[in-house]
Structure 1
């Protein structure tokens, strides 16, 4: 068992043999958060996920659990390849989002217990994907991210058009974008896992009162453009459709 401690800004040391890591991470309120990460690597690692222990005097037990859960989610994207280095870098970059998300859940529960609406400040994101080579895995991953981040909306297929429409807390939408751009969610032409490079953010805006709030996240396929247009119109998003979808056909 080895251990080391140094600031989060320095990332040049050899992680591949480390199992015990202490990270000093600058968090939301300009406060240093000291994370102790313990990686237990099974015999058949990296084909099997490591056991991860997270401790910090500055975080609650629930927040440490959230950090652990997020690290395990990321680890699934690196099966069969060394991952400790990548996981440490990922949590250094994303700790504030994980903690903020954890705090958002607590705030939402408190707000609900007081009978106050949580619909204020809901945002919407429309993404266009160029293609999906590993469609089944890709779709499953998008569904999981949406569920984990409490985002609703649609993953829409119409011919060669692939759209992701998300609604939810703006910070969770930002976190989704980070996951979408930094995770190995698809495969390249040779079948090797790769990050999404052909993605376009068509629109990111606050949901207006006249627009419908999706209650779930669903994967849907449409045989015609009219069917796709009707989906947008039913949600009060006719303008969003006309502004961004037809140009994709040109």
Structure 2
């Protein structure tokens, strides 16, 4: 790894690091990356926002590297982490780009991916604001649409490519997204996957939205509006 240039400038809500670096994929192969780390005022107790770009990589590869860096950052202890993330990227760069390219090739060979639906039950949210922001961000980054239902039950409904849903599940289970009773950051250990299936004649959900409900009747109507009443009846209405 060779850092070519770096700059620091202040933003309204923290510091921003811009780093140009060469990453060695093989002895004779070097890839130039542009990385942007935005450090919020709560950093390092809050992970930085990260952007990745490169003229030598596809947009999907850059997005995959970004997601992997964010996942790694969330798994670290709340200490200054930018340098550690750069070292980790160098050590894992070849695997990250090869794995992502394999996914792209499989998708191209198989044509357009079928749309899947997944429904998750979350037991509780202690750090509610942070948790909701993480769910929104993961869904957007992975190109997933759906709903986050908040009420007596906490449900996440997702629609999109199956591989993106699998990646979401991985993030949900491995990233320290909540806090425990002592206030220490922790992973989600009590999420239940209620349903993960391909649905025929599926009504497309156009966006990801947060919906609060006061009664199960309201929740049922929300499922009806997106054409998933059967899903509600089979997996939600039977919940205790």
For residue 207 of structure 1, the aligned residue among 184, 199, 203 is 199
Match of 2:13 in 1: none
Give the TM-score normalised by the residue count of structure 1. 0.65
Q: In the alignment, is residue 239 of structure 1 matched against residue 240 of structure 2?
A: no
Q: In the alignment, is residue 180 of structure 1 matched against residue 172 of structure 2?
A: yes
Give the TM-score normalised by the residue count of structure 2. 0.67
Q: In the alignment, is residue 217 of structure 1 matched against residue 208 of structure 2?
A: yes
CA drift of 1:133 comes to 0.4
For residue 192 of structure 1, the aligned residue among 180, 184, 203 is 184
Match of 1:29 in 2: none
Question: For 1:48 and 1:200, how far apart are their aligned partners in 2?
Answer: 26
Bigger drift between 66-75 and 225-234 goes to 66-75
The aligned runs of 1:63-102 (5 Å cut-off) are 65-74=62-71, 77=74, 78=76, 80-81=78-79, 83=81, 88=88, 92=92, 95=96, 99=100
Match of 1:167 in 2: 159
CA drift of 1:154 comes to 0.3
Report Cα offsets for 1:87-109 as digits up to 9, x if no partner: 839x95983697259838x96xx
Count, aligned residues: 210
Match of 1:147 in 2: 140
Question: For 2:180 and 2:22, how far apart are their aligned partners in 1?
Answer: 33
Report Cα offsets for 1:66-86 as digits up to 9, x if no partner: 354334533653473264667
* Cα 1:46–1:131 shift into 2, 3 Å: closer
Which consecutive residues of structure 2, in runs of 5 or more, have no partner in the other structure? 3-20
Q: Is the 8 A contact 1:145 1:176 kept in 2?
A: yes
Q: Secondary structure at the match of 1:189?
A: coil
Question: For 1:40 and 1:142, how far apart are their aligned partners in 2?
Answer: 22
More strand by share: 2
CA drift of 1:61 comes to 5.7
Q: Secondary structure at the match of 2:238?
A: helix
CA drift of 1:246 comes to 2.3
Which consecutive residues of structure 1, in runs of 5 or more, have no partner in the other structure? 3-19, 26-32, 112-117
